[in-house]
Amino acid sequence: MGIRAEQKEKRRQEILDAALDLFIHKGFSATSVRDIAAVIHASPALLFHYFESKDDILMELLSIAMGGVDSATGMLDDKVPPLARFENIARMIFESFTSYPQSAPFFLLMHQITVFDSIPAKAKAIAAQNEAMASSIPIILEGQRTGSIREGDPALLAMTFWSAIQGVAETVAMCPSCPTPNPVWISDILKK
């Protein structure tokens, strides 16, 4: 990649980082293109060289977030015992908070996309494709059959696990210096 292409990619990433921070702190509807431009010390017109609209910025951020969701749910297919899959998912997510600090704020963004009415319908439709909880149910059932995962409604157990992940992510997003818990503590929610 040439210097010009690297500079362009760096500027694009600055826009995305600024937008993510503003979206989670001010909300999507309360954030303007002018606000994003001000954070990166650029003109609003410059942003339109990278993205056609604020909605396009949101869609790019959502694409990145869904990539993370896909990575986590893909780990459910690993060939390790069911409980270990959940521990590995928690570990991967918590480690990402350090290696890629923007990963925790993505959890807040996903939450806002699913909850707030002001989010564009196309973003809501994509976020609704998050199958993490539903994909967890067969693994929980497998763990219940083999005796490693506690008895109980598998859907509620999946909800409890993913809600714990969400809670940690939101805490880290709002307090980046806060430590993350041991991933085993999260997977132990499911342990028999």
> Could you please report the per-residue DSSP string of 13-54?
HHHHHHHHHHHHHH-TTT--HHHHHHHTT--HHHHTTT-SSH
Give the tens place of pLDDT for each residue, 131-190.
999 999 999 999 999 999 999 999 999 999 999 999 999 999 999 999 999 999 999 999
Q: Which two structure tokens, joined as six digits, stand for 162?
A: 């993913």
Q: In angstroms, rounded to a whole number, what is the distance separating the alpha carbons of residues 101 and 48?
A: 26
Query: Which DSSP letter does residue 177 get?
Result: T
> Could you please report the per-residue DSSP string of 106-164?
HHHHHHHHHH-TTS-HHHHHHHTT--HHHHHHHHHHHHHHHTSB-SS-HHHHHHHHHHH
Whether 1 has a pLDDT exceeding 80, the answer reads: no
Q: For domain 53-187, give the CATH number.
A: 1.10.357.10
Beta bridge partners of 149: 191
Give the tens place of pLDDT for each residue, 91-109.
999 999 999 989 999 999 9
Q: pTM, whole model, 2 decimals?
A: 0.92
Domain residues of the chain, as ranges?
Answer: 53-187
